């Protein structure tokens, strides 16, 4: 049993998960707001030997060194770049994540964004409620061209669980699927065709980002890669905000090189008022909710609690820095 377990920021615990954590720590402290800096994170951790965090806060070398009681760090997300996991490993601290919880949810949301671009459902619904259809001389009206997906090509950057699910749905729409990934899986070959990045950029009508954020993928969508894309391409990002150089994307949207973009993530969250995507043409932005269905949150909590239990049992699971 842990002496003290601290969630240093909101981790969207459902009541059953919160109750379960009390079985594995003598004291459980759950903070309901995001710490403003490292000093606040260090104060919150104090002498805790187990730490949970979600997506916003960062645990780097300075925090780890200042909190020598830490034995375990659990990230309640799939991405784990919020922790200096390499340094944690040097200090003998395992870092766990929650893989696979959002495969269906994020893939579903990807197509919610894509279909909004194709049909502008929200806009037309608002127009009808404003009386536009009632006043129309014809039986219908369209303020935007409607786009059919069948026969078009989707390029998926990152072809793991989520990317492959997106590919499966895309095939059901009649789309051709191209994939770029450092690893080629047999399951992926059954869904789409693996190609190099330049080929994907040149041939795709829709490009969807589902790769993790690592140094080699940061800024993968930039002025140079955008120049290799088809004119009028659609870009989707439900992965990580820093995968995209936002000013370059905004410039491409404003010039018409990219027809439309839909992003659920941005470089700094919550979004800053000077983010160039806020004023870019044809840019749909949602507040990092692709993961947030009730069903996915339940899976996160179940896995997070199981990760704690597995560590205490001596057989840790989902360790990312072994």
What amino acid positions are annotated as catalytic residues?
240, 269, 288
Cis peptide before 175 (omega within 30 of 0): no
Strand residue runs (E) in the chain: 2-7, 25-30, 50-53, 72-75, 95-96, 153-157, 176-180, 193-194, 206-209, 233-237, 258-263, 283-285
> Which residues neighbour 92 within 8 Å (Cβ) at sequence distance 6 or greater?
none
Give me the DSSP letters along 91-128.
TT--EE--TTTTHHHHHHHHHHHHHHHHH-HHHHHHHH
With residues binned 3-state (H G I as helix, E B as strand, rest as coil), the percentages for the chain, rounded to 5, are 35, 20, 45
What are the helix (H) ranges across 146-210? 161-172, 186-189, 197-203
Contact 112, 280 (CB under 8 A): no
* Cβ-based neighbour number of residue 190 at 10 Å: 10
**Which has the closest alpha carbon to 77: 97, 104, 52?**
97
Contact 20, 42 (CB under 8 A): no
């Amino acid at each position: 049993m842990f002496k003290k377990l601290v969630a240093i920021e909101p981790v969207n615990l459902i009541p059953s998960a919160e109750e379960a954590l009390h079985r594995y720590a003598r004291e459980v402290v759950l903070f309901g707001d995001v710490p403003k800096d490292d000093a606040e994170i260090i104060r919150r951790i104090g002498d805790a030997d187990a730490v949970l965090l979600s997506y916003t806060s960062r645990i780097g070398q300075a925090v780890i060194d200042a909190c020598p009681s830490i034995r375990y760090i659990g990230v309640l997300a799939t991405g784990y770049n919020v922790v200096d996991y390499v340094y944690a490993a040097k200090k003998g601290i395992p870092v766990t994540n929650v893989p696979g919880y959002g495969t269906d949810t994020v893939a579903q949301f990807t197509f919610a964004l894509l279909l909004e671009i194709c049909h502008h459902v929200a806009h037309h619904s608002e127009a009808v409620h404003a009386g536009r259809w009632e006043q129309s001389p014809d039986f219908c009206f369209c303020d935007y061209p409607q786009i059919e997906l069948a026969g078009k090509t989707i390029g998926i950057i990152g072809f793991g669980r989520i990317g492959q699910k997106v590919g499966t749905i895309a095939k059901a729409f009649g789309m051709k699927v191209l994939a770029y990934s450092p690893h080629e899986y047999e399951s992926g070959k059954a869904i789409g065709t693996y190609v190099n990045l330049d080929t994907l950029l040149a041939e795709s009508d829709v490009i969807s980002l589902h790769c993790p954020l690592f140094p080699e993928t940061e800024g993968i969508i930039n002025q140079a890669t955008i120049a290799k894309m088809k004119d009028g391409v659609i870009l989707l990002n439900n992965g990580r905000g820093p995968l995209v150089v936002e000013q370059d994307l905004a410039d491409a949207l404003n010039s018409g090189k990219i027809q439309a973009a839909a992003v659920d993530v941005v470089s700094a969250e919550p979004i800053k008022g000077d983010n160039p995507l806020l004023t870019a043409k044809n840019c749909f932005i949602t507040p990092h909710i692709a993961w947030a269905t009730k069903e996915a949150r339940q899976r996160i909590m179940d896995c997070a609690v199981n990760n704690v239990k597995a560590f205490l049992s001596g057989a840790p699971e989902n360790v990312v820095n072994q």
